[in-house]
Every structure is written in C-alpha cells, then in structure tokens.
Amino acid sequence: MSTPDYRMTKDEHSVLRVADNTVIPTDERNIDYVAYLRWVEAGNTPAPYKAPPVPVPASISDRQFFQQLAVDGIVTQAEALAAVKTGDIPAALAGILDALPDDQRFAAEMLLSGATSFERAHPLSIAIGVARGMSDAEVDGFFRAAAAL
C-alpha cells in the first residue's frame, strides 16, 4: 500500500486525501485524521492548497471579446472600440476572414460584425484560435480572462 498523499484545503478545518479525493475534517476522533497526523509526524508535508481551475465560460459578450483582444495586443484599443461601437472588423480578424473558404466568409463576417456574444465552442472561435496559433488551453484561457473583464 502506498503512502497517502494529502493536500491542504481552502479552509483550515480539513485536509484532502488525494488518493480518493476525500475531505477529512480536522477532528482527532476521526480515524482518517489520526492517520493524517501520523503521516505528518513521520516527516511528511501536505501539498499546499490548489484551487480548482476556473470553468471556461460557454460564452462572452462582444465587449469582453474585443476588449480581451486589445488586452492581449491582437488588436488596438481603437479597433476594439470601433468593433463594439460600429461593428468594424479589426485588421487582424479581417485577415482571418480572408483566409476562410468563400462559402463561410459572409457568415463569419456577419458574426464578427454583429454578434452580441461569442460562443467558446463556435467554429469561428476555434478558427480564430487556430489562425492565431493558439492551443485549446490558450483559447480557454482567453475566454476565462475575457469573462473576468
């Protein structure tokens, strides 16, 4: 049997046994907590608390989308403002539109210039990420950051 691995929890009233994801209250009458105390007395140190990842939002507003593009330096602040105010498509995104097949370009342009929200799972969101050389995790990070704006 392997040595249990523990992680501190957000509060100070429990520890997490990683092996089975069990939260153990800090109650000395609890046999699992006694086992944890023995594990610590043997010279082991629990890993620090690790917050769960923020979920990826299914959608973000057009303002969040264009503002995050500006924050990331993909478009200028002026381009982001124009996109939100009038639907102007920033040059960096116009280049992506130009690379799309003819039968997809008009719908993508309509979406970029008129959408009030952008869906993470939408093919255009994926295409923009691919065109920018972003991994799925990076696109997820973009949507998380944008949602926080």
Tokens of 21: 């994801």
Q: What is the pLDDT of residues 62-80, one digit of tens each?
A: 999 999 999 999 999 999 9
Q: Where are the beta strands (DSSP E) in 41-137?
A: 59-61, 117-119
* pLDDT in the model for residue 82: 97
Any idea what DSSP says for residue 47?
B
Tell me the pLDDT tens digit for each residue of 3-27. 668 888 888 788 989 889 899 998 8
State the pTM of this model.
0.72
Query: 């105390």: which residue's tokens?
Result: 37
What are the residue boundaries of the structural domains of the chain, listed by start?
Answer: 1-52, 59-147
CB within 8 A of 30, min separation 6: which ones?
Answer: 24
Q: What are phi and psi of 118, to 5 degrees?
A: -125, 130
What would you measure as the largest C-alpha separation in the chain, in angstroms?
70
Indicate the length of the chain as a whole number: 149
